[in-house]
Amino acid sequence: MGQKKDLTGSEKSKIVRYLAEGCSSLKIAKLLKRDHRTIKRFILNSQQGRKKRVDKPRRKLTAHELRKVKRAAAKMPLATSLAIFQSCNITGVPKSTRCAILRDMAKVRKAERRPPLNKTHKLKRQDWAKKYLKTDFSKVLWTDEMRVSLDGPDGWARGWIGKGQRAPVRLRRQQGGGGVLVWAGIIKDELVGPFRVEDGVKLNSQSYCQFLEDTFFKQWYRKKSASFKKNMIFMQDNAPSHASKYSTAWLARKGIKEEKLMTWPPCSPDLNPIENLWSIIKCEIYKEGKRYTSLNSVWEAVVAAARNVDGEQIKTLTESMDGRLLSVLAKKGGYIGR
What is the full per-residue pLDDT of the chain (338 aa) written as tens digits?
Answer: 445 678 888 888 888 888 888 888 888 999 998 988 888 888 888 766 555 555 566 678 899 999 999 888 888 877 888 889 999 999 888 888 888 888 888 776 544 456 789 999 999 999 999 999 999 999 999 999 999 998 776 555 566 777 777 666 554 444 445 789 999 999 999 999 999 999 989 999 999 999 999 999 999 999 999 999 999 999 999 999 999 999 999 999 999 999 999 999 999 999 999 999 999 999 999 887 788 999 999 999 999 999 999 999 999 999 999 999 999 999 999 999 76
Write the CA distances from 264 to 126, 140, 217, integer angstroms. 11, 13, 22
Burial class of residue 86, CB neighbours in 10 A (0-12, 13-18, 19+): middle
Residue 140's Cβ-side half-sphere holds a number of Cα atoms within 13 Å equal to 25
pLDDT at 176: 46
Q: Using an 8 Å Cβ cutoff, are 98 and 73 in contact?
A: no
Lay out the sheet containing 190-196: strands in order across: 190-196, 179-187, 140-149, 233-235
C-alpha–C-alpha distance, residues 160 and 95, integer Å? 13
List of residues 6+ apart from 184 with CB closer than 8 A: 143, 144, 146, 191, 192, 193, 194, 195, 274, 277, 306
Distance, in Å, from the CA atom of 61 to the CA atom of 65, rounded to the nearest integer, reads: 6
| Calpha distance 10→268 (Å, rounded) | 25
Beta bridge partners of 235: 142
Return the beta strands (E) in the chain as ranges.
Answer: 106-107, 140-149, 161-162, 179-187, 190-196, 233-235
CA-atom Rg of the chain in angstroms: 23
DSSP 145: E
- Residue 126 is predicted with a pLDDT of 96
Return the sign of the alpha-carbon dihedral for residues 289, 294, 300, 303: positive
**Given this model, what pLDDT does residue 116 score?**
82
Contact, 233 vs 259, CB < 8 A? yes
**What is the structure's pLDDT at 5?**
74
Coil/strand/helix, residue 117: coil
Tell me, what's the pLDDT at 136?
95
Q: How far is Cα 47 from Cα 64, in angstroms, rounded to an integer?
A: 45
- Which residue blocks in 191-294 are alpha helix, DSSP H? 205-212, 218-219, 226-231, 240-243, 245-253, 274-285
Amino acid 250 reads: W
Residue 160 phi, psi dihedral angles, 5° rounding: -80, 135
Provide the CA 267 distance to its chain's centre, in angstroms. 15
Beta bridge partners of 332: none
